[in-house]
Amino acid sequence: MTADPLAAAFPLLTTRQLGQISALTENITIELGGILLREGHHTDSLYLITDGIADLTKNLVEMESVVTEIKAGELVGEMSFAGNFPPTATVTAATDIKAIKIDKSKLMALLEGDAALGMAVFRSIASTLSRRLLQVTERFAFLRLT
């Protein structure tokens, strides 16, 4: 991971733009077993894991299943941010986690006032979502072959 986790998560942003977003952030710690996002409950923030591992779990008809691990350098809450709907899964600390919390309403206000910044942030989020969709597609293709 690079020295600046925001720069790694938002590679299209300039130093000035990263500074604008950094001004909206708060460093947080979530202890082992703590909940970062809860499926179906609205969230007011986007998170960037900077240290530790989280489990992304999905409730499936009276059963909870770990879908994937989220590691340092990954965004969480990006689907809710981009789509303005509650999280579709729960994110639980599998280890103690350090994260950067970005206030959703403040970030949206910043992006609405700067079209170039908004485009760069949403392109970075789209890239994250595309990469994750590709991973899921490959998993399902593998499952069909077995």
pLDDT along the chain (146 residues), means of 10: 81 92 96 95 93 90 80 88 85 97 94 92 84 72 65
Give me the residue spans of the domains in the chain.
5-140
pLDDT value, residue 143: 63
pLDDT value, residue 1: 47
- Return the closest-CA partner of residue 5 out of 109, 101, 142, 108: 101
CATH 2.60.120.10 fits 5-140, yes or no: yes
- Alpha-carbon distance of 99 to 116, in angstroms, equals 26
Verdict on whether the full-model pTM lies above 0.95: no
